[in-house]
Structure 1
Amino acid sequence: MEMNSNNPYFGQEDDNVDFKHEIKRYLRYWPWFALAIFIALSGAYLYLRYSPRIYQTVTKIKILDEADGLELPSSAFIFKRSNINLENEIEILNSYRIIEDVVKKLNLNTTFFEEGQIQTSQMAELPFSFKQRIQVDSILTSMQYEIYVDSDKFEITNLKTEKSITFPNHDSYLKSHRLPFDIKVYDTSDLQAIIGKTYIVKFTPLKSTVLSLKNRIKTEAIGDQSHLLKLTIKGESPKWSEMVLDSLVGTFNQDGIDDRREVFLTTTRFIDDRFEYLAFELDSIEDNKQEFKQRNNLVFLPSDAELGIQKRSKSEEEVFRIESQLALADLIEDALKDQDFSDGLLPSNIGIESGGINELISQYNSAILERNKYVVSGGVNNPMVKQLNATIADLKNNINQSLVSYKSQLQASKKQLDARDRKFRGEVSQLPLQEKLLREIDRQQQIKESLYLFLFQKREEAAINYEITEPSIKVVEYALSGSNPISPKPNIVYAAAILGGLLLPFASLYLFFMLDTKVHDKRDVEKAVKNVPIIGQIPEVKDKDGLIFENPNDRSILAESFRILSSNVRYVLPKNNNNVGQVIFCTSTIKGEGKTYVSINLSLALSSLNKKVLLIGADLRNPQIHAYSTKDKNALGLSNYLHDFKLDWKDMLIKGFKNHQTHDVLLSGSIPPNPAHLLTNGRFDSLIEEAKKLYDYIIVDTAPTILVTDTMLISHLADTNVYIVKANFTEKNLLEFSKELVESGKLKNMAYVVNSVGASKSRGYGYNYGYGYGYSDQS
């Protein structure tokens, strides 16, 4: 009988993943998934129950243009910035200097905690009076003190030295001590709420506190075109966070105000210095004028020179204006030459009519202020300080060059006016020389008086602006904390717990399956070896007393599985046209896979069908059939027949199973030293030929194929080869050896039998035949 390609027992060429099978394989372990999810959810609950609540606090501010303060109509800006660089503002806001001021102002390097049964939470302040006795800058190392509130006293413990001190009546002022703080309960009505509680006071060095706070505060711009900044901080105490952000905003605002006030103060000091000089010059001019008039008896100008004098007056006004500008330019040059004057700041906008010079002075003052800030926070070697020094030097050089150019222009204009003035003087040449000199004195007096009044006006403007300096920022939204904590988030924690509870067992099982190298059922065989039929799966039998199919009428799962196997064996056997017995070899790759067990039970299953069956033990090296009978291991058998030509194999047959009268057994016999030689001496071939005439089926229990060549030497005698693979025992890579035997033709008409299916639950394949239709399970 030829093997049909449509035989349902042949493995199919299917490399697709069987998702249904994969899902069932994992679902078999659903209790592990349920347990993992339960543990994960329990852990998530405990985490949410005892983890600290983290709140987010946000404040928003708008950076303002530094607009004018009070300014009279005759002047321009004292200090102006047309653009706002938010990146610079963020850097200043987050600078060590600003945050250090906040830490010192709020005493932030002293923190308070309330100790609970499970966790310790931060507090903004203690529920009783606390006064720190140590200066902020004096805290050089970390210190922690535990305060236990008893019914009638405080008990304070230094956690570093573990030394304790008690203060009766909840008042540390009544007892001498060396603690860095004092505490006292003023309102005894609040005492009951804190009795039995423990609080911790922690002192941290200033630098580490500033750096820690600097890292916790996040500042970012809102939008691309707006001048809004958002400041964010996260912490356990919303009150503490709000206090920190509001103080930071206030400190930053005051810092900007102080910068502008410094410019106004510098301008006031500069004008005050010039007042002394101008007052002295005005007094000198007044004295000279008085002396000149008295010496020359000058009281009234001739009326006939009035018209000429009017023309000259207009010309002199122009000259006066130019000379005023020259005087102001000289003042600026003098200030530039004075390197130590007011930390290098220049008087801004004191009347110079050149817009370029005024703009350069404003940029110069801004650069000086920015450099001074970086010097305070980073030192003189700070790269930004060096860069700003270079910028200041360039601006100073530009101002000098602009003043030189401006004065040159004024001198040229003055030269033209002088020429015109000489023309007018010619027209009034009849006037006395004394009148000419008097005019010059009056002109000098007017110049000095105008300059004096102008500077006085600017001094008043600077003084007023100093007092009413506008803020640097506008608070859009004061520090506000969310009502719900941002961490932990229950939805995310529980979702992560469920996901983790699913993934952990899944990953463990996946890893276990991936590292599993054993064969577990026919699916593993089908994947490894294609187009070789699998004619049976034998279930695992844990009852060692029920391993043998002794009762022909047995309806147990084991008996039915071997009945199925016997039916499938007859299906794969070639068609028998000679009415002779058929030979079935039972072999395996290595020992221990159950070939003897399958050989015996297969032979008994065929015998239960009223067929004459002969079971031959051909594994001469490690015989096992005798273990299932009452015969001794060294009883006469096949090896004796093959060795002694005088013996007849029929005389060595035994009835090993009393309920199977058509079943005979030929044991292996004594273990010979040369099994391969005996099997190939021709006697075994003769035995098979004789037995085929006497029996319907000859079942041969052969040696494992990978260990010895015995089976290969006699494989030509088999009509079919039943190859045994044991679940949870046979390595998958050993299937390659049996596959090579088929492909090379060494074992013809081979079929697999998977033994002990259900021995391992690791793949999720149980062995469920579902028998019982019209039967009862009984041996």
Structure 2
Amino acid sequence: MDDSFNNFKSFDDDNSIDLKQEVSKFLRYWPWFVLALFIALISAYVYLRFAPRIYQTSAKMKILDESEGLELPTSAFVFKRVNINLENEIQILTSYLILEKVSKELNLNTSFYEEGTIQTAQIAQLPFNYEQIIHPDSISTGLSYSVIVKEKNFEITNLNTDKTFKLSNNGLENSKYNLPFNLKLENSASLNKILGKKFIIKYGPLKSSALKLKSRIKVEPVGEQSDLLELSIKGESKELSELILNKLMDVFNKDGINDRQLVSKNTLEFIDERFVFLAEELDSIEIDRKDFKQQNNLVDLAADAELGLQQRTKSDEEVFKIETQIALAQLVQQALKSDSGKGLLPSNIGIDNSGINGLIAEYNLVILERDKLTGSAGVNNPTVMLIESKIDDLRTNLTQSLNSYNQQLQVSQNQLKGRNRKFVGQVAQIPEKDRLLRAIERQQKIKESLYILLLQKREEAAINLAITEPSIKVVDFAISGSGPISPKSNIVYAGAILGGLLIPFGVLYLIFMLDTKLHSKEDINNINPKIPVIGEIPDVKKTKDILFSDPNARTALAESFRILSSNVDYILPVRDNKKAKVIYCTSTIKGEGKTYISVNLSLALSSINKKVLLIGADLRNPQIHTHIHQEKHKPGLSNYLHDINYDWKDSLIRGFDKHPNHHIILSGSIPPNPAQLLTNGRFKKLIEEAKDEYDYIVVDTAPTILVTDTMLISQLADATIYLARANYTEKNLLRFSKDLSESGKLKNMAYVVNSVGASKSYGYGYNYGYNYGYGNKE
């Protein structure tokens, strides 16, 4: 594939580009460029004439920060002025949910068109009253209707079914046709403006319209440090584009407000739900507090604690008092037992029993009386004895009274101790009751505080809900440019000119790039710069004038062969002797014109009064006989090589009357073993003998790529002319000839380019390929 670039690149050490040559290759096809440019300009004019005009509509808005104005300036505020993530806002603006709302509110899945003579333009609304009956969400497939305004009615055609309806323009008959819309012409004065015009109403799925709108809307930030966004849209209808952008900003603003209100609404709902729960909890706690006080006989814990302590103290005093009485009673009993009834008993020692105190007092009086009588009357005095009897009775009564009183005190003591233990237990339970009561009261205070807090938050949420701030500030409402942005005539014409030049250039470039054939000597110089090109033979059509038969001819063909013959002399070695110089003519493949060049070169050399011998050494496919109208199998070289008794001079032919010094030896009969014949030594003998008779010997040899005939005899040549045919020879074949020269298989080689200037191959009737038409015979 690298060879496909040969037309534009040099090979080996020569990497230069001949700009003039490259340009000239394209300028040869200037009519193509003119035609393409003409067609492109006509196409541009037609496009500008009938293309719809596209206008750009833009709007600007500022994203408001919800916390703006509530925070004090900080370092973050100073160094980062924008606290809003604009990328997030852009994604929300262009989200499907927002654009679906816009499409639904504006009925963008319903579109209107006005059909003109040449083009159909989209319009924002119909010039008469239109009422859509079908809901945007219920449109699942595409529907189309055409409306033609008549003088007294509308002619409506369902473009999906081709059914036509005629409806009164007063809108009274519309409902009976089950159409998705109602039409009415309210202002008859505007009828003349739209009379006969055709309008088209199209319906599509809401999802498709939203996705289409998403692809059209473009949102970009205004500057790097700004919180402004610019919205833009392109469309045919300015009015519709402005409606879309304004509605988009409105929907986005409402969506932001709803998001902020949603927080307040959710807060209110949450607080209301908590109110019910907290009220139940507060009621439960109050009931628990009441039950706790009732169960523990509590009114006021401090007062109850003080009362309990007083009761306990009083009970302790009473117990102490009873114990004192018991001790006093026991003291009296001991006194009765120890005294044996002789002495006085202690009186007024604190016994609270008046009966006992009376008996003691009476007992002491009787003792005193007895002691008094005993001292005066003696022990045996009847009165004394009577008093003794009385003392015994009083002692007995006193003992019984003290026993009864003691038992009474024991019972009271036990009762007081039991009550005292109760008071002690009540006082001991006061801290636990206080702890439990405090826990209940703490829960009550917590719930009450939470209830009050929720009331406060509820009021705040209600206020926020009522005064929710907008989420955006509209800086510029949607406005459309005065002129269309598309199509632009200067750009279209510039593109047409550019396309008109580039298209043929590209086609030609592709043709040249894929063209692997040789066209001029520059192609040879690019591949084989060390091998000279000594001649360029112009292309001639297949006429009778393809041979240099007239030595005095002044045609371009004759001059080109004169130049070739002169250049051949420059590559031939200089010799002191007068022997002929041997010139081989060969090529790579069949069809490159080596026989044609051999004949004409020999004639050109003969035209300067030189004796020239032309030998047809192409034994496999001889062609010289076709130029001189001789038989193909006329005896010639093959006969001489095969028959040692055959004299080559017997095969000499004078093919051209005006060239008396020109002789030809034809190839002769086609032999089965040409390689063996050429190497048997007789061909060399022929050359050596002919050198003494002629000035030049021109040998038409076989092509080199498939047969070795030419290489077998190449050492006999003084110069080898290697033929390449323009527009026929493949460039990569030149590498084969280059290898032959560099390896020394062909001596003193030079190129001749045949058919130069041909735009296509003329008149030789050769097919492309390497096949030379021989069998594999040697």
Q: Deviations over 1:690-717 (max 9, x none)?
A: 2212211111212222232222222222
The Cα offsets for residues 127-151 of structure 1, whole Å up to 9 and x where unpaired, read as 1111112233433433221112244
1:7-64 per-position Cα deviation (integer Å, ceiling 9, x unaligned): xxxx995331222221222222222223223333333333333332222221222234
Shift of 1:540: 0.8
Deviation (angstroms), 1:579: 1.3
**In 1, Cα distance between the equivalents of 2:54 and 2:88?**
30
Please give the alpha-carbon distance, in whole angstroms, between the structure 2 residues aligned to 1:179 and 1:473: 40
For 1:620 and 1:505, locate their aligned partners in 2 and report how far apart those are by CA, in whole Å. Answer: 47
Counterpart in the other structure of 1:658:
657
2:27 is matched by which residue type in structure 1?
L
Query: Partner letter of residue 697 of structure 2?
Result: I
1:187-229 CA-to-partner distances (Å, cap 9, x unmatched) read 2332233233221112233344344434433333333444323
Which residue does the alignment assign to 1:333? 450
After superposition, give the CA deviation of every residue in 1:148-187 in whole Å (9 maximum; x if it has no partner): 2244432212222222211245746477321011112222
Corresponding residue of 2:585: 586
| Contact kept in structure 1, 2:702 and 2:710, CA below 8 Å | yes
Q: Compared with structure 1, are the counterparts of its residues 150 and 717 closer, same or farther at alpha carbon in structure 2 (3 Å cutoff)?
A: same
Separation in 2, partners of 1:724, 1:261: 93
Change (3 A) 1:329 1:196: farther
Q: Which moved more, 1:19-28 or 1:35-44?
A: 35-44
2:63 is equivalent to residue 42 of structure 1:
no
8 Å CA contact 2:111, 2:203 repeated in 1 = yes
Structure 2 partner of 1:218: 218
Shift of 1:349: 5.6
Q: Residues of 2 paired with 1:263 and 1:737: CA distance?
A: 87
Residue 558 (structure 1) aligns with: 557
Q: CA deviation at 1:556?
A: 0.2
Deviation at 1:568, TM superposition (A): 0.8
1:25 and 2:25 are equivalent in the alignment: yes
CA distance, structure 2, for counterparts of residue 695 and residue 224 of structure 1: 93
Q: Distance in 2 between matches of 1:650 and 1:266?
A: 124
CA distance 1:679–1:53, shift in 2 (3 Å):
same
Q: Could you tell me how far apart the structure 2 residues matched to 1:93 and 1:631 are?
A: 93
Secondary structure of the 2:177 match is coil
Report the counterpart of residue 533 of structure 1 in structure 2: 532
Q: Is residue 109 of structure 1 aligned with residue 127 of structure 2?
A: no
Cα displacement (A) at 1:264: 7.7
Q: Does 1:128 align with 2:128?
A: yes
User: d(CA) in 2 for partners of 1:187 and 1:83?
Assistant: 53
- The residue identity in structure 1 corresponding to 2:185 is V
Cα pair 2:12 2:527 within 8 Å, conserved: no
Could you tell me whether the CA contact under 8 Å between 1:267 and 1:347 is conserved in 2? no
1:358 equivalent in structure 2: none
- CA deviation vs aligned residue, 1:381-425 (integer Å, no higher than 9, x gap): xxxxxxxxxxxxxxxxxxxxxxxxxxxxxxxxxxxxxxxxxxxxx
* Inter-CA distance 668–197: structure 2 relative to 1 (3 Å threshold): same
Moved more, 133-142 or 724-733: 133-142
Give the distance between the partners of 2:589 and 2:462, measured in 1 at CA: 106
Q: Distance in 1 between matches of 2:664 and 2:68?
A: 120
Partner of 1:425: none
Give the conservation status (yes or no) of the 8 Å contact 2:655–2:663. yes
Say whether the 8 Å CA contact 1:44–1:493 is kept in structure 2: yes
Counterpart in 1 of 2:57?
57
CA distance in 1, matches of 2:629, 2:216: 86
Paired AA for residue 556 in structure 2? I
Q: Give 1:347 deviation, angstroms.
A: 5.2
Greater shift, 174-183 or 733-742, is seen at 174-183
SS in 2 for 1:635: coil
Deviations 1:705-755 (A, max 9, x none): 223222222222222111211112222222222222211212211211111
Report the residue type matching 1:697 in the other structure: Y
Distance 1:216 1:755, change over 3 A: closer
Percent identical among aligned pairs is: 60
The answer as to whether partners of 2:59 and 2:232 remain within 8 angstroms in 1 is yes
CA contact (8 A) 1:173 1:183 kept: no
Structure 1 residue 564: deviation in Å? 0.4
Instruction: Report if aligned partners of 1:142, 1:204 keep a CA contact under 8 Å in 2.
Output: yes
> TM-score scaled to structure 1, two decimals?
0.67
Amino acid in structure 2 at the alignment position of 1:15: N
8 Å contact kept, 2:169–2:183: no
Distance 1:140 1:676, change over 3 A: closer
Q: CA deviation at 1:663?
A: 1.3
Q: 1:252 to 1:653 in 2, by over 3 A?
A: closer
Distance 2:170 2:643 in 1: 112
Q: Is the 8 A contact 1:727 1:760 kept in 2?
A: no
The alignment partner of 1:605 has SS state of helix
- Counterpart of 1:744, as a letter, is S
What's the counterpart of residue 494 of structure 1? 493
* Residues 339-375 of structure 1, C-alpha deviations (whole Å, 9 max, x = no match): xxxxxxx55568xxxxxxxxxxxxxxxxxxxxxxxxx
- The offset of 1:685, in angstroms, is 2.3
> In 2, Cα distance between the equivalents of 1:225 and 1:68?
16
Distance of 1:195 and 1:743 partners within structure 2 = 89
Distance 1:225 1:332, change over 3 A: farther
- Corresponding residue SS for 2:567: helix
Corresponding letter in the other structure for 1:638: L
User: How far apart in 1 are the matches of 2:593 and 2:49?
Assistant: 57
Check if 1:478 corresponds to 2:477: yes
Matched, 1:634 2:751: no
Q: Does structure 1 conserve the Cα–Cα contact (< 8 Å) formed by 2:144 and 2:159?
A: yes
Structure 1 residues 740 and 103: CA distance shift in structure 2, 3 A: closer
Which structure has the larger Rg over C-alpha atoms?
Answer: 2
Alignment-derived partner of residue 203 in structure 1? 203
1:608, CA displacement in angstroms?
0.9
C-alpha separation in 2, matches of 1:260 and 1:572: 99
**2:721 matches 1:726:** no
Q: Secondary structure at the match of 2:692?
A: helix
Separation of aligned partners in 2, 1:239 and 1:511 = 48
CA distance in structure 2 between the partners assigned to 1:516 and 1:17 by the alignment = 18
Structure 1 regions of 5+ residues with no counterpart? 1-10, 70-81, 282-324, 337-345, 351-457, 763-779
Matched, 1:712 2:714: no
Q: Residue type of the partner of 1:731?
A: E
Q: Counterparts in 2 of 1:234-273, with a 5 A limit? A: 234-256=234-256
> Which amino acid counterpart does residue 746 of structure 2 have in structure 1?
L
How many pairs are equivalent? 581
> Shift of the alpha carbon at 1:470?
5.1
Instruction: In structure 2, give the amino acid aligned to 1:537.
Output: E
Return closer, same or farther for 1:480/1:327 CA change in 2, 3 Å cut-off.
farther
Distance 1:99-1:326 versus aligned 2 partners, 3 A rule: farther
How many Å apart are 1:265 and its aligned residue? 8.2
Q: 2: CA distance between counterparts of 1:730 and 1:510?
A: 20
Quickly say closer, same or farther: Cα 1:185–1:581, change in 2 above 3 A.
Answer: same
What is the CA-CA distance between 1:126 and the residue it aligns to? 0.4
Moved more, 185-194 or 92-101: 92-101
Residue type at the aligned position of 1:477 = D
Please give the residue correspondences for 1:540-555 in structure 2 after superposition, counting only pairs within 5 Å.
540-555=539-554
Q: Which digits, 9 at most, give the CA deviation of each residue in 1:437-493, with x for residues without a partner?
A: xxxxxxxxxxxxxxxxxxxxx79x967x87666544332111111112233333333
Shift of 1:536: 0.6
1:162 matched residue in structure 2: 162
Give the distance between the partners of 2:618 and 2:238, measured in 1 at CA.
84
Q: 1:274-293 counterparts in 2 under 5 A?
A: none
User: What is the deviation of 1:606?
Assistant: 1.0
Q: Distance in 1 between matches of 2:530 and 2:88?
A: 77
Tell whether the 8 Å contact from 1:144 to 1:158 is kept in structure 2 after alignment.
yes
- Note if 1:644 corresponds to 2:643: yes
Give 1:660 deviation, angstroms. Answer: 1.0
For residue 658 of structure 1, report the CA deviation from its aligned partner.
0.7
- For 1:171 and 1:655, the matched residues in 2 are separated by 108
| CA distance in 2 between partners of 1:490 and 1:348 (Å) | 67
Alpha-carbon distance in 2 for matches of 1:259, 1:707: 87
TM-score of the two chains, using structure 2 as the length reference:
0.67
Mapped to 1, the partners of 2:632 and 2:443 lie a distance apart of 134
1:331–1:225 CA distance, 2 compared to 1 (3 A): farther
| Separation in 1, partners of 2:98, 2:665 | 102
Q: Which amino acid aligns with 1:523?
A: E
Q: Is the 8 A contact 1:267 1:348 kept in 2?
A: no
Supply the distance in 1 between the matched residues of 2:549 and 2:456 (Cα, whole angstroms).
119
